[in-house]
C-alpha cells in the first residue's frame, strides 16, 4: 500500500470503517497506515487540509490562482491593475461563491497579504508621465539613433568571442571621438552604416586572422586531418563506419485500443484547460468507473480535476465580464464626447 498516497489511504480507511470492516477506529487506522488521531477527526467530519482554506484567507486556492493569472496577463499587456481593482475583483469572486453575496467582504489589507503569498507580484507607486519626455518618444526621432552605427559581434559555441567591429555612417572618423573604446575594437565607416564586402574582407584580414592565427596549427594538425577523413569513411574507404552510426529503428504505431492506452487512463490526470482535455478527462473517468480494481481515491481525484476546471472557467467568466463592462463604459464615454450636439436656429438667415 506504499504506492497509494496518504490521502488515498485515508479515504480507503474511512470507507472500510463505515462499512463495519474494523471493530475500532484505531484498528482501521493501523491497517491502512494513517495517523490514528487524524483518522478520528476525519471520522467526526473534519475535512482534509487540502480541501480547507485557512481562516485568514477569503478566497480558495483556485480563486487566487485565477486572480493571479489575470493580474499577470494584464501586466503583460502593459495595463497593470491598481490595488483597488484587485480588491474589487476579489470581492466579485467571493460574492459569486457565497450563498448570500451581502456577507462577502474583502478587507483593505487583503491585497497586501495576497501579494506576500505570491512572489510573482509586487506593488509600487506609479509616477506621472512627463509630457516633454512623451513628446521625445517619437519613433521617427528614435529611429535616427539606430541608423548612425552598427556593431558586429562574432562568437562561437564554446563561449569565446572576437572583439566587435563598429561601423559608422560616415566617410571619415577621428580617434579622439572614442577614447574610452577598448583598443582591440575595430572602427570602420560606410555610407549607410551597414556592412559590405569591403568591410567584410577588412574584418577577415585585420580581426579574424589576427586573433585566430595561433589556432591554425593546433586545429590543422596531422591527427585531426587524418581522423576527419577516417570519420567520414573516405580514407581508408569504409562506408560501414558511417552507416553503423545511424540508429534507424522502424516503429509500428500502437493502436488506440491497446492496453498501453488504457494504462494512461489509470491515473487521475490533470486539470482540463480546453475542450479536448476535458473530453480526455471524461473518458478517463468513464474508464475508472468501469474497472473495479481502481481505488475510490483515484476516481475522486479525477472528478475533482473536472470540478476545478469548471470553477476556473466560471471565475474567468466573472473577470472577463467585469472587463467587458469597463470597456463598454469607456466606449460610451467616448461616444458622448464625439457625438454632435443638436442646436436650434431660425430660418430667416
More confident site: 295 or 21 = 21
pTM (two decimals) = 0.48
Rg (the chain; Cα; Å)? 35
More confident site: 290 or 258 = 290
Q: What is the pLDDT of residues 68-94, one digit of tens each?
A: 999 999 999 888 999 999 999 999 998
pLDDT of 39: 87
Distance CA 6, CA 261 (A): 27
Q: Confidence class of residue 67 from pLDDT cuts 50, 70 and 90?
A: very high
Q: Is 165 helix (H, G, I), strand (E, B) or coil?
A: strand
Distance CA 318, CA 312 (A): 10
pLDDT of 269: 75
Distance CA 236, CA 138 (A): 66
Local structure of residue 205 (DSSP, 8 states): I
Compute the average pLDDT of residues 35-44: 88
For cell 473530453, the residue is 279
Residue 8 has pLDDT above 60, yes or no: yes
Q: What is the pLDDT of residues 172-186, one digit of tens each?
A: 888 888 888 888 899
Q: Confidence class of residue 259 from pLDDT cuts 50, 70 and 90?
A: very low
Neighbouring residues of 208: CB distance < 8 A, sequence distance ≥ 6 = 154, 162
Compute the average pLDDT of residues 319-335: 89
- The residue ranges of every structural domain in the chain are 6-51, 61-117, 140-206, 261-328
pLDDT of 339: 65
Terminal CA-to-CA distance of the chain, rounded, Å? Answer: 99
Q: Is 167 helix (H, G, I), strand (E, B) or coil?
A: strand
With CA atoms as reference, report the closest residue to 277 among 300, 311, 309, 323: 309
Q: Which range, of 209-223, 305-319, 329-343, averages the lowest pLDDT?
A: 329-343
257, three cell numbers: 485500443
Q: Is 10 helix (H, G, I), strand (E, B) or coil?
A: helix
Residue 322 burial (CB count, 10 A): 15
pLDDT of 266: 62
pLDDT of 258: 47
Q: Confidence class of residue 260 from pLDDT cuts 50, 70 and 90?
A: very low
Q: What is the pLDDT of residues 123-180, one digit of tens each?
A: 888 777 777 777 777 777 777 777 778 888 888 888 889 999 999 888 888 888 888 8
Compute the average pLDDT of residues 201-226: 87
Q: Which run of H or of E encompasses 259? A: helix 259-263
Distance CA 36, CA 30 (A): 7
Q: Confidence class of residue 198 from pLDDT cuts 50, 70 and 90?
A: very high
pLDDT of 49: 65
Amino acid at each position: 500500500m506504499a504506492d497509494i498516497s496518504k490521502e488515498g489511504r485515508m479515504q480507503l480507511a474511512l470507507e472500510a470503517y463505515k462499512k463495519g470492516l474494523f471493530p475500532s477506529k484505531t484498528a482501521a487506522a493501523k491497517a491502512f497506515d494513517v495517523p490514528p488521531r487524524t483518522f478520528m477527526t476525519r471520522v467526526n467530519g473534519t475535512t482534509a487540509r487540502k480541501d480547507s482554506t485557512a481562516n485568514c484567507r477569503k478566497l480558495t486556492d483556485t480563486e487566487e490562482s485565477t486572480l493571479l493569472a489575470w493580474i499577470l496577463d494584464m501586466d503583460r499587456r502593459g495595463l497593470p491593475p491598481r490595488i483597488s481593482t484587485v480588491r474589487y475583483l476579489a470581492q466579485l469572486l467571493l460574492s459569486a461563491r457565497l450563498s448570500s453575496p451581502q456577507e462577502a467582504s474583502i478587507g483593505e489589507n487583503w491585497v497586501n497579504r495576497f501579494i506576500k503569498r505570491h512572489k510573482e507580484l509586487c506593488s509600487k507607486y506609479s509616477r506621472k508621465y512627463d509630457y516633454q519626455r512623451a513628446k521625445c518618444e517619437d519613433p521617427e526621432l528614435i529611429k535616427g539613433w539606430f541608423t548612425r552605427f552598427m556593431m558586429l559581434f562574432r562568437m562561437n559555441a564554446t563561449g569565446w568571442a572576437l572583439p566587435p567591429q563598429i561601423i559608422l555612417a560616415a566617410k571619415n572618423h577621428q580617434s579622439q571621438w572614442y577614447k574610452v573604446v577598448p583598443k582591440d575594437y575595430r572602427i570602420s565607416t560606410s555610407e549607410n552604416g551597414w556592412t559590405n564586402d569591403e568591410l567584410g574582407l577588412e574584418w577577415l584580414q585585420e580581426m579574424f586572422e589576427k586573433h585566430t592565427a595561433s589556432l591554425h596549427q593546433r586545429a590543422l594538425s596531422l591527427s585531426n586531418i587524418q581522423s576527419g577523413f577516417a570519420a567520414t569513411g573516405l580514407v581508408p574507404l569504409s562506408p560501414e563506419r558511417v552507416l553503423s552510426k545511424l540508429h534507424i529503428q522502424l516503429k509500428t504505431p500502437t493502436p488506440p485500443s491497446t492496453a498501453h492506452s488504457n494504462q494512461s487512463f489509470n491515473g487521475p490526470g490533470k486539470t482540463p484547460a480546453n475542450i479536448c482535455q476535458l473530453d480526455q478527462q471524461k473518458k478517463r473517468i468513464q474508464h475508472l468507473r468501469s474497472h473495479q480494481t481502481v481505488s475510490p481515491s483515484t476516481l475522486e481525484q479525477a472528478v475533482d480535476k473536472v470540478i476545478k476546471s469548471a470553477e476556473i472557467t466560471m471565475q474567468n467568466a466573472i473577470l472577463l465580464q467585469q472587463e467587458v463592462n469597463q470597456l463598454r463604459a469607456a466606449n460610451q464615454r467616448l461616444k458622448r464626447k464625439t457625438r454632435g450636439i443638436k442646436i436650434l436656429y431660425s430660418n430667416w438667415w
